[in-house]
């Protein structure tokens, strides 16, 4: 019989000791099961930002931040990026295994047959000003899907869950492209399913009824790669938001709307947009030293956007893959002497040689390069995080399905360390 692994916790105030069991995963650090901590010792754990807390069990994605490794269902991201496609990765995420041809055909058919949105949904866009941020529109429109698709909101029904997951993956590009069209005042373009997932998105964004539009194969390939790289990233802020919202049995459309809101922030999915703003602010290679100094100055809120990661302390494997694609896209569709790209590469070079960044293991992350690719593809800056949301929907719905399907699932309800005023009595206004 294998020996039960435990960690002993001793309360030096009372002298009482308890044994907390260790749980082992397939890879990565073990987890100390602290559920007995409050029951036995009367303490809660304190871990702001969840740096040492596993909030759930999952078998979807594994990240080794020290080694710069990312696995989806066990498969290295490098292999999936080279050999797979976004929709095949979506299948893998949802169902745990790579599909056989028949399974893939059925899945692609299901996604393809759900790309249109209810015509009434379009009136929602008219309520937004043309200069509304597309992420604001996304939060609203995706949240409203639950008002249209009642047939897939019974979360205890696995068939409903699957339909909702497929609908979300399928409709996200249509909803996103409509955000863009609304902002430029052009008519919405209906999905054209024969173009494939990414080709259809590009067509819905850039074609107009009065002209022919051909989807560029490099643009399609680049988008497919970015979407694979962004498909999931275990328990990041937006995914954790979705799990938290979903734990109360909220419907999946509302949950994904909450995830989109969490993704919007510049410390998370908003970073790709922030990178472009930052490059614009730096303006010229000659200003790099000044901005590097600002990034290092603790009294200055400026940070190098697209650098650093909570988990990757070595390098971000997605950044390596996307950097190569960035060069390919620039060589074929852009201008590799583009001052913006030169500035980005020079900034990367300077930061990588700087002791401040080296000591803290601050490497360029995936968003550093995805923003530049999007810019070359003609996607406006305020749509960058929307593109991220389309890809991450696959991870969100997979993690949501995993959570709801877990028989041990309970409503998430963190505790807190209260440090406010001690109990006191109400004082009449005249006596304050
Ligand atoms: N520029 C300058 N200094 C930085 C940066 C940066 N981008 N990132 C971290 N640091 C410093 C930070 O000041 C701290 O220094 P010290 O130890 O002297 O106090 C040290 O590095 C550790 O940083 P931290 O803030 O404790 O790290 P974190 O894990 O809490 O934050 C992060 C991670 C990604 C929010 C942060 O690195 C950051 O704000 N980066 C810029 C925004 C960005 O690119 N976000 C996209 C992340 S990847 C996409 C995604 O998964 O959503």
Q: Residues 65-106: pLDDT tens digits?
A: 888 999 999 999 999 999 999 999 999 999 999 999 999 999
| 310 — pLDDT class (breaks 50, 70, 90) | confident
The torsion region of residue 11 among left (phi > 0), alpha (psi -120 to 50) and beta comes to beta
The active-site residue out of 309, 327, 338, 406 is 309
| Alpha carbon distance 144, 149 (integer Å) | 9
Angle ∠(237,239,240) on CA atoms, nearest 5: 65
DSSP output for 393-422: HHHHHHHHHHHHH-TT-----------SPP
Catalytic site includes residue 297: no
Q: What is the mean pLDDT of residues 4-26?
A: 95
**pLDDT tens digit string along 174-213?**
999 999 999 999 999 999 999 999 999 999 999 999 999 9
Please report the pLDDT score of residue 336 as a whole number. 58
Bridge partners of 20, per DSSP, are 7
- Asked if residue 1 has pLDDT above 70, the reply is no
| Percent of the chain whose pLDDT exceeds 70 | 99
Catalytic site includes residue 367: yes
- Asked if residue 266 has pLDDT above 90, the reply is no
Please report the pLDDT score of residue 150 as a whole number. 81
Q: Does residue 295 have its Cβ closer than 6 Å to ligand 1? A: yes
Q: Does residue 233 have its Cβ closer than 6 Å to ligand 1? A: yes
**pLDDT tens digit string along 333-353?**
876 567 887 898 899 899 989
- Asked if residue 420 has pLDDT above 70, the reply is yes
Please report the pLDDT score of residue 272 as a whole number. 85
Q: Does residue 7 have its Cβ closer than 6 Å to ligand 1? A: no
Q: What is the mean pLDDT of residues 417-431?
A: 96
CA of 376 to the centre of ligand 1 (A): 26
pLDDT, averaged across the chain: 93
Q: Does residue 308 have its Cβ closer than 6 Å to ligand 1? A: yes
| Alpha carbon distance 103, 111 (integer Å) | 12
Please report the pLDDT score of residue 15 as a whole number. 95
Tokens coding 103: 């399974």
Please report the pLDDT score of residue 19 as a whole number. 95
Please report the pLDDT score of residue 330 as a whole number. 82
Please report the pLDDT score of residue 331 as a whole number. 83
**pLDDT tens digit string along 140-187?**
999 999 998 887 778 899 999 999 999 999 999 999 999 999 999 999
Q: Worst-scoring range by mean pLDDT, 19-23, 81-85, 185-189, 272-276?
A: 272-276
Please report the pLDDT score of residue 221 as a whole number. 96
Q: What is the mean pLDDT of residues 2-21?
A: 92
Furthest C-alpha separation in the chain: 80
Please report the pLDDT score of residue 270 as a whole number. 83
CA of 214 to the centre of ligand 1 (A): 40
The answer to whether residues 264 and 241 touch, using CB atoms and an 8 Å cutoff, is: no
For residues 350, 356, 357 and 359, what is the CA-based torsion angle, rounded to 10 degrees?
130
Q: Does residue 269 have its Cβ closer than 6 Å to ligand 1? A: yes
Radius of gyration of the chain (CA): 24
Q: Report the residue among 308, 317, 319, 387 best suited for mutation to probe ligand 1: largest number of ligand atoms under 8 A from its CB.
A: 308
Please report the pLDDT score of residue 154 as a whole number. 86
CA of 85 to the centre of ligand 1 (A): 31
What count of residues does the chain have? Answer: 432
Q: What is the mean pLDDT of residues 117-139?
A: 92
Q: Residue whose CA is closest, atom 22 of ligand 1?
A: 360
CA of 301 to the centre of ligand 1 (A): 12
| Percent of the chain whose pLDDT exceeds 90 | 78
Q: Does residue 309 have its Cβ closer than 6 Å to ligand 1? A: yes
CB atoms within 10 A of CB 38: 12
**pLDDT tens digit string along 380-415?**
999 999 999 999 999 999 999 999 999 888 999 999
The active-site residue out of 216, 224, 354, 367 is 367
| Alpha carbon distance 15, 38 (integer Å) | 16
Q: Which atom of ligand 1 is nearest to the CA of 269?
A: 52
| 323 — pLDDT class (breaks 50, 70, 90) | confident
Under DSSP, the state recorded for 364 is: B
């Amino acid at each position: 019989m294998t020996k039960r692994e435990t960690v002993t916790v001793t309360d030096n105030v009372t002298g009482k000791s308890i044994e907390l069991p260790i749980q082992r995963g397939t890879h990565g650090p073990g987890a100390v099961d602290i559920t007995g901590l409050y029951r036995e010792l009367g303490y809660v754990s304190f871990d702001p930002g969840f740096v040492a807390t596993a909030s759930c069990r999952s078998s979807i994605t594994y990240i080794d931040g020290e080694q710069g490794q990312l696995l989806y269902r066990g498969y290295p991201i490098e292999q999936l990026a080279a050999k797979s496609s976004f929709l095949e990765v979506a299948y893998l995420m949802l169902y745990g295994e790579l599909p056989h041809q028949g399974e893939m055909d059925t899945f692609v058919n299901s996604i393809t047959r759900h790309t249109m949105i209810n015509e009434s949904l379009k009136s929602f866009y008219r309520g937004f000003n043309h200069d509304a941020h597309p992420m604001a529109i996304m939060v609203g429109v995706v949240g409203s899907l639950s008002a249209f698709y009642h047939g897939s909101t019974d979360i205890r029904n696995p068939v409903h869950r699957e339909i909702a997951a497929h609908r979300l993956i399928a409709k996200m590009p249509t909803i996103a492209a409509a955000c863009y069209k609304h902002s430029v005042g052009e008519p919405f373009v209906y999905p054209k399913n024969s173009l494939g997932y990414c080709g259809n998105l590009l067509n819905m964004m850039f074609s107009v009824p009065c002209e022919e539009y051909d989807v560029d194969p490099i643009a399609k390939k680049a988008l497919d790669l970015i979407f694979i790289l962004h498909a999931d990233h275990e328990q990041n802020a937006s995914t954790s938001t979705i799990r938290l919202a979903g734990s109360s049995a909220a419907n999946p459309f509302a949950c994904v709307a909450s995830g989109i809101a969490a993704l919007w922030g510049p410390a998370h999915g908003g970073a790709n947009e922030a990178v472009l703003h930052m490059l614009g602010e730096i303006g010229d290679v000659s200003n790099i030293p000044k901005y590097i100094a600002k990034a290092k100055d603790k009294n200055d809120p400026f940070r190098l956007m697209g650098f650093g990661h909570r988990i990757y302390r070595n390098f971000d494997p997605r950044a390596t893959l996307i950097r190569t694609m960035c060069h390919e896209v620039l060589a074929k569709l852009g201008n590799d002497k583009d001052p913006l790209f030169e500035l980005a590469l020079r900034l990367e070079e300077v930061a990588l040689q700087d002791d401040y960044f080296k000591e803290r293991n601050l490497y360029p992350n995936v968003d550093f390069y995805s923003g530049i690719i999007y810019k070359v593809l003609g996607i406006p800056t305020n749509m960058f995080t929307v593109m991220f949301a389309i890809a991450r929907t696959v991870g969100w719905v997979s993690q949501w399905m995993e959570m709801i399907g877990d028989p041990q699932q309970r409503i998430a309800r963190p505790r807190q360390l209260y440090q406010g005023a001690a109990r006191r009595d109400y004082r009449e206004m005249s006596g304050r």
